Amino acid sequence: MNPSDHKPTCMHHQRGGALLVMLVILVMGITTVFVTSLSGTAIQNHRNHSSAEALAKAKEALIGYAVTYGDTHPGKSHGYLPCPDPNGDAGSPTLKEGSSELCGTDANSHAIGRLPWRTLDLPALFDGSSECLWYAVSGNYKSTQTANPTMNWDTAAQLHVYGSDGIEIAPGEIVALVISPGAPLSSNNDRSGSAAPTCGGNYDASAYLENDTLHSINNTDVATGKFILPHEHRDANGNVTLSVNDKFIYISRQDIWNGIQKRIARQAKKCLDDYAADASNTNHKYPWAASLSNTEISPNRTGTMDVLFGRFPDTPNTSIPGGGTCPTSGSNLTTLSASEITNLNHYINQVSAALTDYKNNPSSTTRDNLQDAGENLWNLVKNPPYNLPSGDAIRSSLGYYIKDQCSDPCYSSISTFEERLADAISEFNSCTGSGGTDSSMPSSWTSINSCNDLVTSASWSAWRDWLFIQIADGYQPGGVGSCILEPDSGATCLSVSGSGHTNAGSGSYHAVVVAASKAMSGKDRSVTSTLSNFLEGANATGKASHPTTTTFETYRPTDSSYSTVNDLALCIDGKSNCP
């Protein structure tokens, strides 16, 4: 066969091989582009992850610093943040790069510099571009300012952060920023230098942070307290005309004060738990709360006898009713025991509460409740051990009168009922007075270390108006050490409801601690005697005298109900269900 007969087939194979080679080259090219793109994305993702991780570590350390500030700085309250590191020197050979330095005493003068990682007990933290983090702090939260020595939820924030649209984010809430400067941009100054041997570079903020001239927000101008998030500006052709690549993580008032609020409330809970567990406190009782009308400024606010709900007292009161001289002939209240006097006072207060309910909401239900309360009191005082005569104010002028006369239209007699209630309370107080103190209870906080530590701490002056206690009827001075049994409603133990309460046993608590949070709209906390200026919802209804049933509300900050009730309530029951 002629060899030329194979030529077309050979040429066909050659052309097929060339196409295969070209296809391989094309696939390799596409793969190279894809892999290169994928690698670029992976690198950027890695950088973003590194930056986010460093920022999160810094934020956690700063919050911990603020929550424990009073522990590490005697005489100062919690809540303060460190000054930045402005130059790595501080003028002392013992203070090196990464240490917090002085940043002025003016509460309106903010500070910026590198993150004081050494002060926070951290290693130097680098972002994804291998740059150390920067840090800005509001003037009224920096540890060196002196104009606002009392720190709490109402200490407003002064820094402002804006989105790329120029709209402020979380106004009034941001107290500090940790900043990842990112890679240098053409608008930055030179980052060279040896002033920061560990972090590298210098302390010129304009070498690391950007100036958004379009929105007139310069991230280096700390005097304004304004910062803007990373973004780009483009012209009509899509060309980038200005870039900001500073990334932030901010610290809000809630970040700091949620932690401090929990700490203060838990200290108060531990105090009451330890108080009830004291060896001398045989029935595990608690001292009286301080009346809301007690607005004593200096830290010597004493608990008020017969007040079960009020502020946490600076000084405990374990007084019990008893003694005195009765003005009504034949009355024998002076011969009653402390528990009998306490029980009588309880029933008088039930009438008082029912009368208030009826006055505020006159209805057949509230009228019936008032009649029942009056009858319960009347049945109590006419029988042993009280045996009050028919002319006694507590018997005939209140209990029997309400029982017998409170029929439709009951509301027409409300002023008479109020007068008779005042007479009954006056007689009770005159007859009983103070019967001394409950000797089975510790007489001061000093014998209970956790209590003494709480009321003598530097933070106490900032929180004493914000902390409330409720004692279950029966666990007060002179009580029997168990919840009082009501004829209709049963035991008067306390309850806590809501997503912020996770312990078992709701409805069986002996006491509750409630700590107020950030003031909501319309609150005037300069008026300390108004409970609703501090607490919300069921917590603000008032339960000062022997409630039949009491439920407090508490929610997690992530719960939608937190927007209307942000109080923190902790249960207390001798650590049975509330460890």
Q: What is the dihedral of CA 510, 515, 519, 521, to 10 degrees?
A: -20
Beta bridge partners of 470: 309, 512
- Crossing angle of helices 7-67 and 253-277, in 10° steps, is 50
439, amino acid identity: S
Cα separation, 30 vs 447, whole angstroms: 79
CB atoms within 10 A of CB 247: 20
Q: E strands along 505-576, which residues?
A: 511-515, 550-553, 568-572
Choose among 326, 322, 332, 307: nearest CA to 432: 322
For residues 539 and 569, is the Cβ–Cβ distance under 8 A?
yes
476 has pLDDT over 80: yes
- Grouping H, G, I as helix, E, B as strand and the rest as coil, residue 39 is helix
pLDDT for the residue numbered 93: 59
Confidence label for 110 from pLDDT (cuts 50, 70 and 90): very high
Confidence category of residue 351, pLDDT binned at 50, 70, 90: confident
CA distance linking residue 406 with residue 419, whole number of Å: 14
Reading phi first (left if > 0) and then psi (alpha if -120 to 50, else beta), residue 306 is in: left
CA 136 centroid distance within chain: 24
At 485, which helix (H) or strand (E)?
Answer: strand 485-486
Phi, psi (5° rounding) for residue 278?
A: -60, 140
Q: Is-contact 464 311, C-beta < 8 A?
A: yes
Residue 408 has pLDDT above 70, yes or no: no
Residues 161, 168: contact at Cβ < 8 Å?
yes
**E strand map for 189-326:** 211-212, 217-218, 226-228, 231-234, 240-244, 247-252, 309-311, 319-321
Tell which residue, 443, 523, 256, has the closest CA to residue 264.
Answer: 256
- Model pLDDT, residue 549: 62
b/e per residue 455-485 (b: at least 16 CB within 10 A): bebbbbbbbbbbbbbbbbbbbbbbbeebbbe
Q: What is the pTM of this model?
A: 0.75
Q: 34 pLDDT exceeds 60?
A: no
Task: From 151, 152, 133, select the one nearest 143 (Cα to Cα).
Answer: 151
Q: Which tens digits make up the pLDDT trace of 254-272?
A: 999 999 999 999 999 999 9
Helix residue ranges, H only, 68-168: 69-72
266 close to 258: Cβ distance less than 8 angstroms: no
Please, which contacts does 163-172 make with residues 24 or more away whose CB atoms are closer than 8 Å? 163/228, 163/229, 164/228, 164/229, 164/230, 164/231, 166/215, 166/217, 166/228, 169/229, 170/250, 170/252
- State yes or no: pLDDT of 370 exceeds 90: no
Confidence of residue 148 (pLDDT cuts 50, 70, 90): low
Between CA 55 and CA 52, with CA 196 as vertex, the angle to 5 degrees is 10
Q: Alpha-carbon distance 493 to 364, whole Å? A: 27
| Cβ atoms of 552 and 512 closer than 8 Å | yes
Return the number of other C-beta atoms located less than 10 Å from residue 91's C-beta. Answer: 8
pLDDT tens digits, residue range 510-543?
A: 999 999 999 998 899 989 989 999 999 889 876 7
